[in-house]
Chains A and B, each alone.
Chain A
Amino acid sequence: MYRYDEFDEALVRERAAQFRGQVARRLSGALKEDAFKPLRLMNGVYLQLHAYMLRVAIPYGQLDPAKLRQLAMIADRYDKGYGHFTTRQNIQYNWIRLADMPDVLDALADVEMHAIQTSGNCIRNVTSDHLAGAAADEIEDPRPWCEIIRQWSTLHPEFSFLPRKFKIAVTAAETDRAAVRVHDIGLHIRRNGDGEIGFEVIVGGGQGRTPHVGVTIRDWIAKAELLSYLEAIMRVYNRFGRRDNKYKARIKILVNELGPEAFAEAVDTEYAAQGVHEAVLLPQGEIDRITEYFASPDLPERPARSVTFEAARAADPALDRWARVNLRRHRTPGYTSAYISLKSQGEAPGDMTGDQMRVAADIAEQFGFGDIRVAHEQDLVLPHLAIDDLPEVHRRLRDAGLAASNAGLASDLIACPGLDYCNLSNARSISVGNAIQAVFEDPEFEERVGPLHINISGCINACGHHHVGHIGVLGVDKKGEEYYQITFGGRADEKAAIGDIIGPALKGDDVAPALRRVIAAYLDLRKGPGEKFIDAYTRLGPAPFKEALYAVD
C-alpha cells in the first residue's frame, strides 16, 4: 500500500501544526467560533451533542497494522476506548477534548494519517471497493487512482470553499461495491472499444433530502485526461452550483436543474477551453511510482482445497457458518477475503474497541500480509488470507467478539450514530437497529432470508444511506416523538436505485415487528431461496410488502 515520502509527510505535519495554531487561537478567544468553524470542519472536527467529534480520514479504506494500532491507542488514550467506522470508510471518535486534538493529529501523522477534508465544503475522503486488489472481477486495482485523487484534491486552492461537500468514489469491478452511482462523482474504471483502460464518469448522485442516482456524462475518458476533466467538473460546480440554499447546494441539484445534457455540455466547454498550461499534468513516472505501491503482495502457493480447513469446519458449525457467510472469492487459488463484521447483536453498528483493533491488527500482520480495509458497510475486511489459516483466524476473531457471521445479511445493517451522538439527528438509530437485528437473532433464519441490506439514518441527511437500503429506515420527529419512515427497493450497487417510500411512518417500537412481517411475506412470496429480497420486490412491486408492513399482528 502507499507510503508517504518526505513531501506527503511534510504536508501532513504542516497541516497538523497549522491546526495546533488554530486551536490555540480558538482556546485563547482570538478566533471566534463562527470563524473557527470552517477551519475545524476542514480538519474533521465537529461540535456534537456531548463533545467535539473527530473524524479521521482512512483514504479508500486502506489500513495496515501500524495504523490500526495507532487508532486503538487514540481510542484508549483520548476517547472512551472505542471508535466508530463510517460509511465513508473513515473512523470517528466521539469524546475527544478540543485541547487534545492537535496531539491526536500529531499521533496520526506518525503513522501517515490525517483528518484533512473529512468535513467542510470541500472534496472529501475518496472511497473505493474494499476488495480492491483481491477481487476476481476487477479489471485493475482502483487504489492507485484513489491515491492520485487524494493527492490532487488535498488542500486544493480552488476547490476548498465549494457550495457544499463533495464526495468521489472509484470502482473497477462490474459488481459495484463502492456505490459510485450515489456519489457527487463516481468513477468506474472500464475498457473502451480498443481495450484501453480509462474511466466512465458519473455525476450528480447523492442521498440527503433529495436523493438522485448519478448520470453518466462521459462513457470513457483516458487516464491522462482524468484530473483535468475533474477540474473542469469542479470549476463548473464551484462557479454555478447554488449557494442560496444549503439544501440545494449539492452538485446533484445543479445537474438536475440544468439537465444532464446541459451540465455535460458546460463541463465539455470548460474542458475544451483549458489551455495547455492549465492541464493537470501528472508525469507518467509519478503514476507508475504510485501504482507500484499497490502491487499485489507476494502470495506463496497454498492449497486450493485445504484439508485443515475442511476438517475444522466439519467439526465446528460456527466456523462453517462464518466461512459460508463472511468469505469472498479471491483471485488467487488458495486465498480468500474475509469480513470482520462490526455488527454483533446488540452493539452499536460500526463500533470497535481499542482491544479489538489490536486483535485485528495482529491477525492482519501474521496472516493477512498487513492489509486491512474498511468497508463502507462499516465492517473491516482482511483481503488476503490463506484458506489454510482460516481456522486459526476465526478462533482469534471469535475470542475477541469479532466473529459475527452476518456479512451481507440482514443484521449487518448500516446505521448512523443517530440521536445518541449527533446534533442533527431526529431519532435514535442504534436502538432501532438493535431491535431489527434481534429479529434475525437465529442465524439459521437469517441465512435462510439471505442477502438483505437494511440501512438506518437518524435524519434526512442520510448518513446511514437509508435511500439505498433494500429496506431503508429513516428517523423523523413527530411532535417530539421518534417515528421511522420505511422505504423498500433501494440499492447502491451497479443497478443503483432510490427506495420507495411505502406509507406513514411507524413508532420506534413498531419497526422491528413490522419488518418481521415483511420478511415473512417475502419468504412466502419468493420463487425460491435464490430469489433475493430485492429481486422479489422488483418483481412484485410494493403492494404485498406494504400490506405486511401495516398489518396488525
Chain B
Amino acid sequence: MPLIKGGAPVSCSRRFFADEETPPDPNDAIVSLGRLVAAGGDVFRSVRLMPADDPLALAPHIRRLDLIEIAFPGFRDGRGFSAAQLLRRRLGYTGELRAVGQVLRDQVFFMARSGFDAFLIDDPHAEEIVAAALSEFTVAYQSAADDTRTIWERRWNARPAHTRRDDR
C-alpha cells in the first residue's frame, strides 16, 4: 500500500504489532496506546491511535515518539482530526503523523490542515491523489495545525509573530 509523505512515495520498515504479538525490534514496531503506556516511556517510538484513544495520554512520551499513526476505521468518524490538532498544537509533536485506514481523497486536504504529513492510501495512484487533493484549495479561513496563511492573516497580516508555527 503506497505511503505518501512530502508529496512522494516513501518506504517504511515499521509495522503494527497487535498486543499479543512480540516484535523482534521495538524500534520497528508500531504499537497500541495501551501497550506504549504500559511499557513505559523509553521502549517504543511509534504508536497507533484508535478513534476513542485520548491523544493527550501521549504527553509524557511525546519527545521520544517519531511516528504516530491515527486510524480512520471509517471515513465518517472524524475524531482523528481532533487528535491530530491536539498532538501538533497542544503537545507540540513534530514527528511523522500518518493517516491510516479509510483515507479518502477528499479528506486529505482537511487531514493536511489538521497536521497529518503522511497518508497511507490503498490505491496505486496514491501520489497523484494526494497531489490533486492538496492543490484544490489555495485559501482557508481558519488557523489550524499547518502553516497555511489564513485568509484573515492575508487580509490583515496582523497576526502576532508568536502564533506562527515556525516560531513555536
A residues with a Cβ closer than 8 A to B are 5, 7-8, 10-11, 14-15, 17-18, 21-22, 35, 38-39, 121, 151-152, 154-162, 235, 238-239, 243, 273-283, 285-286, 289
Q: A157-B81, A160-B110, A277-B168 are in contact. Are A286 and B156 (CB under 8 A)?
A: yes
B residues with a Cβ closer than 8 A to A are 51, 75-79, 81-82, 85, 89-90, 104, 106-107, 109-111, 113-114, 136-144, 151-152, 154-156, 158-160, 162-163, 165, 168
Q: List 25 A-B contacts (CB under 8 A).
A: A7-B154, A7-B155, A8-B151, A10-B139, A14-B136, A17-B136, A35-B75, A151-B151, A157-B81, A157-B109, A157-B113, A158-B81, A158-B110, A159-B81, A160-B78, A161-B75, A161-B77, A238-B82, A243-B76, A243-B77, A275-B90, A277-B163, A282-B152, A285-B156, A286-B155
Residues of A with C-beta under 8 A to B144: 157-158
**A162→B155 CA distance, assembly (Å):** 29
Q: Is the CB of B136 within 8 A of A18?
A: yes
A-B contacts besides A8-B151, A154-B141, A276-B162, 4 pairs, CB < 8 Å? A17-B136, A39-B106, A161-B110, A280-B142
| Minimal beta-carbon separation of B107 from chain A (angstroms) | 8
| Minimal beta-carbon separation of A268 from chain B (angstroms) | 16
Q: Is the CB of B81 within 8 A of A7?
A: no
Residues of B with C-beta under 8 A to A22: 106
Q: How many inter-chain contacts with C-beta < 8 Å in the A-B complex?
A: 118
Q: Is the CB of A152 within 8 A of B141?
A: yes
**A157→B134 CA distance, assembly (Å):** 13
- Please list the 9 inter-chain residue pairs (A to B) with the smallest Cβ-Cβ separation, ordered nearest first: A161-B78, A157-B113, A283-B158, A283-B156, A7-B151, A157-B110, A151-B141, A158-B81, A18-B136
Q: Is the CB of A35 within 8 A of B104?
A: yes
Q: A152-B141, A277-B89 are in contact. Are A158 and B82 (CB under 8 A)?
A: yes
| Minimal beta-carbon separation of A457 from chain B (angstroms) | 25
**A37→B144 CA distance, assembly (Å):** 26
Residues of B with C-beta under 8 A to A276: 162-163
**A293→B151 CA distance, assembly (Å):** 18
Residues of A with C-beta under 8 A to B75: 35, 38, 161
Main secondary structure of the interface of A (DSSP, over half): helix
| Minimal beta-carbon separation of A464 from chain B (angstroms) | 27
| Minimal beta-carbon separation of B150 from chain A (angstroms) | 9
Q: Is the CB of B85 within 8 A of A158?
A: yes
Residues of B with C-beta under 8 A to A274: 90
Residue of B nearest to A284 (CB): B158
Residues of B with C-beta under 8 A to A5: 155
Q: Is the CB of A281 within 8 A of B143?
A: yes
**A134→B27 CA distance, assembly (Å):** 66
**A17→B140 CA distance, assembly (Å):** 16
Residues of B with C-beta under 8 A to A278: 89-90
Residue of A nearest to B156 (CB): A283
**A159→B137 CA distance, assembly (Å):** 17
Q: Is the CB of A152 within 8 A of B168?
A: no
Q: A155-B137, A160-B110, A277-B162 are in contact. Are A289 and B78 (CB under 8 A)?
A: no
Residues of A with C-beta under 8 A to B155: 5, 7, 283, 285-286, 289
Q: Is the CB of B90 within 8 A of A273?
A: yes
Q: Is the CB of B77 within 8 A of A285?
A: no
| Minimal beta-carbon separation of A330 from chain B (angstroms) | 33
Residues of A with C-beta under 8 A to B107: 161
**A451→B110 CA distance, assembly (Å):** 47
**A263→B2 CA distance, assembly (Å):** 41
Residues of A with C-beta under 8 A to B89: 275, 277-278
Residues of A with C-beta under 8 A to B152: 151, 281-283, 286
Point out which of B79, B152, B156, B165 has the most chain A C-beta atoms below 10 A from its C-beta.
Answer: B152
Q: Is the CB of B143 within 8 A of A280?
A: yes
Q: Is the CB of B136 within 8 A of A235?
A: no
Residues of A with C-beta under 8 A to B140: 11, 155, 157
Point out which of B114, B136, B142, B165 has the most chain A C-beta atoms below 10 A from its C-beta.
Answer: B142
**A39→B77 CA distance, assembly (Å):** 14
Residues of B with C-beta under 8 A to A157: 81, 109-111, 113-114, 140, 142, 144
**A17→B137 CA distance, assembly (Å):** 10
Q: A5-B155, A7-B139, A11-B139 are in contact. Are A238 and B81 (CB under 8 A)?
A: yes
Residue of A nearest to B84 (CB): A158
**A10→B150 CA distance, assembly (Å):** 13
Q: Is the CB of A283 within 8 A of B82?
A: no
Q: Is the CB of A161 within 8 A of B163?
A: no
**A239→B56 CA distance, assembly (Å):** 12
**A160→B154 CA distance, assembly (Å):** 23
Residues of B with C-beta under 8 A to A39: 106
Residue of A nearest to B104 (CB): A35
**A161→B168 CA distance, assembly (Å):** 28
Q: Is the CB of A285 within 8 A of B158?
A: yes
**A281→B149 CA distance, assembly (Å):** 13
**A281→B154 CA distance, assembly (Å):** 13
Q: Is the CB of B137 within 8 A of A11?
A: yes
Residue of B nearest to A8 (CB): B151
Residues of B with C-beta under 8 A to A282: 152
